[in-house]
C-alpha cells in the first residue's frame, strides 16, 4: 500500500506531496476513489467489493479525509495495492474528490461511497456501457438499499422544476435491469466520468463542501451538452449518509438546504430563473412546514441565511458557468421534470438516449 500524507490546511490542497509519477504507459483504465471519514466497517465491505471485481484494469485510491478515528486507514491497509492519502484537514467530499482526480492516473474517474459495496461486475458493466456509447462521458449506477435489496436507493439523479433534486426512485421498488437512458445528473455515490472532462469543468465546487456537489456537477454537464447515462446493470448497495449521521442529521439538513439553493442560483439559465427561484422558495417552505420536518424549520432558516452569505461567491461562479453554456435554456428545461408528482413520489426520470457524436456533444 502506498501512503501519501497531505499537508495540513486547505491552502495546501493543490500542493500535495505524492509518490513519484508512475510510467504513464502503464496507467490503468480506471481510477476508483473512495472518500472515507469515520467509515468503519462499511469501508471494509466497500474495498472488499472492489477487490472482487471481474474487471481488473483499475487502481484504488482511498482518501482518509482527516478521520478522527484511525480505523479507516487501518482498514485500507488490509487491501494490497490501495493508494491511501491521509489528509490532515477535512476537505469535504468536494475537495477530496478533486484531490483524488488530480492524483488519479486512469482515463475514467470513478467514485464509490465508503458505505456502498459493488456487485462483482459493477465496473465491467460501466466499462461496457462506455463502449456502447462512445460519445458519452458520464455514467451512473443503479443503487439499492443495502439493508433492503428489493428497494431502490437511486436510479440516477433528477432535477425538478422546483429546483429540488432527488435520487430517482428513492425508497421505491427495484425495477431490475431496465433500459439505459439519460438522467439529469450522476449520483456521486457510484459514478464514472471522463477524468479530463471532470477537470476541464473544474471538478466539484469546493464551496459546497458536502451534499449537492454531484448535482451541481451534473447540471454543469447538462449546460455543456454532455449527457449522463444510467446503467441499470451496474449495481451497488448503499447504506446512505453513514459518515454524516443520516439523511435527517443536522449536518445533512443544513448542507443539503444551503447547497440546493446554491445550485439553483449558480446553474439555472437566466430565462428560467424567474420561474425556478419562486418555485424553489415555495417548495422549501412547504417541505419545512410538513409535520415530520417541523423540528428542522429553524435549521432550514439558518441554512438559507448561510446561502445568502455565500451568494456573492456563488454568483461569481455563475458568471463563469453561464459563459461556457453550450445548450439552450429550452434544452435544460426539457431535461428537468415539471410534474410535481415526480418530485413528491421521487419517481425516476430516464429519457431516451439522444444521438451523440463519438467526440462528445
d(CA 277, CA 279): 5
CATH superfamily assigned to domain 2-238: Spore Coat Polysaccharide Biosynthesis Protein SpsA; Chain A (3.90.550.10)
User: For position 149, what pLDDT does the model report?
Assistant: 81
pLDDT tens digits, one per residue of 107-144: 999 999 999 999 999 999 999 999 999 999 999 999 99
How far, in Å, CA of 229 to CA of 308, rounded? 33
Closest CA to 191 of 116, 243, 259: 116
Q: Are 88 and 8 in contact (CB under 8 A)?
A: yes
Q: Report residue 355's pLDDT band, with 50, 70 and 90 as the boundaries.
A: confident
Q: Residue 119's pLDDT is what? A: 98
Residue ranges covered by each domain of the chain:
2-238, 250-325
SS3 109: strand
- pLDDT, tens digit (0-9, with 9 covering 90-100), for 203-256: 999 999 999 999 999 999 999 999 999 999 999 999 975 454 456 789 999 999
Predicted pLDDT at 242: 47
Look up cell 432527488; give the residue: 166
DSSP secondary structure of 148-195 = EEEEEEEESEEEBTTS-EEETTTTSB---S---EEESB--TTEEEEEH
In this prediction, residue 291 carries a pLDDT of 85
Does position 337 have pLDDT exceeding 70, yes or no?
yes
Phi, psi of 225 (to 5 degrees): 75, 20
User: What size, in residues, is the chain?
Assistant: 361
DSSP E strand stretches across the chain = 2-5, 30-36, 58-64, 83-86, 108-112, 116-118, 138-145, 148-155, 157-159, 165-167, 181-183, 190-194, 228-238
Instruction: Provide the CA 233 distance to its chain's centre, in angstroms.
Output: 19
Measured CA to CA in angstroms, residue 97 lies from 148, 272, 283, 357 at distances of 28, 30, 30, 28
CA distance 17 to 12: 10
Q: CA-CA distance, 228 to 230, in Å (whole number)?
A: 7
Name the residue with higher pLDDT: 253 or 361.
253
Query: CA-based diameter of the chain, in Å?
Result: 58
Mean pLDDT of 302-329: 97
Amino acid at each position: 500500500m502506498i501512503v501519501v500524507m497531505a499537508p495540513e490546511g486547505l491552502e495546501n490542497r493543490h500542493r500535495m506531496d505524492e509518490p513519484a509519477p508512475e510510467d504513464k504507459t502503464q496507467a490503468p483504465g480506471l481510477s476508483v476513489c473512495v472518500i472515507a471519514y469515520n467509515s468503519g466497517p462499511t469501508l471494509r465491505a466497500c474495498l472488499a467489493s472492489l477487490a472482487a471485481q471481474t474487471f481488473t484494469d483499475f487502481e484504488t485510491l482511498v482518501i482518509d479525509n482527516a478521520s478522527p478515528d484511525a480505523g479507516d486507514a487501518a482498514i485500507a491497509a488490509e487491501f494490497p495495492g490501495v493508494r491511501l492519502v491521509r489528509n490532515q484537514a477535512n476537505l469535504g467530499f468536494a475537495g477530496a474528490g478533486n484531490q483524488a482526480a488530480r492524483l488519479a492516473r486512469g482515463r475514467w474517474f470513478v467514485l464509490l461511497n465508503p458505505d456502498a459495496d459493488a456487485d462483482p461486475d459493477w465496473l465491467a458493466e460501466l466499462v461496457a456501457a462506455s463502449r456502447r456509447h462512445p460519445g458519452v462521458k458520464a455514467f451512473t449506477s443503479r443503487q439499492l438499499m443495502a439493508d433492503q435489496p428489493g428497494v431502490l436507493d437511486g436510479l440516477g439523479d433528477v432535477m425538478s422544476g422546483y429546483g429540488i433534486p432527488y435520487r430517482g426512485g428513492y425508497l421505491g421498488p427495484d425495477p431490475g435491469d431496465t433500459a439505459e437512458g439519460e438522467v439529469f445528473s450522476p449520483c456521486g455515490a457510484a459514478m464514472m466520468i471522463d477524468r479530463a472532462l471532470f477537470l476541464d469543468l473544474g471538478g466539484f465546487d469546493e464551496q459546497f463542501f458536502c451534499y449537492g456537489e454531484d448535482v451541481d456537477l451534473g447540471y454543469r454537464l447538462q449546460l455543456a451538452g454532455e449527457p449522463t447515462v444510467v446503467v441499470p446493470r451496474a449495481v451497488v448497495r448503499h447504506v446512505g449518509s453513514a459518515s454524516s449521521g443520516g439523511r435527517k442529521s443536522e449536518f445533512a439538513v443544513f448542507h443539503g438546504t444551503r447547497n440546493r439553493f446554491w445550485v439553483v442560483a449558480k446553474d439555472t439559465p437566466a430565462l428560467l430563473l424567474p420561474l425556478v427561484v419562486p418555485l424553489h422558495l415555495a417548495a422549501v417552505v412547504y417541505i419545512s412546514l410538513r409535520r415530520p420536518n417541523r423540528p428542522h424549520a429553524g435549521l432550514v432558516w439558518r441554512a438559507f441565511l448561510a446561502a445568502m452569505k455565500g451568494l456573492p461567491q456563488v454568483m461569481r461562479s455563475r458568471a463563469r458557468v453561464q459563459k461556457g453554456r453550450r445548450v439552450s435554456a429550452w434544452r435544460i428545461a426539457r431535461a428537468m421534470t415539471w410534474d410535481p408528482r415526480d418530485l413528491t413520489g421521487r419517481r425516476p426520470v430516464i429519457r431516451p438516449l439522444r444521438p451523440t457524436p463519438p467526440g462528445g456533444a
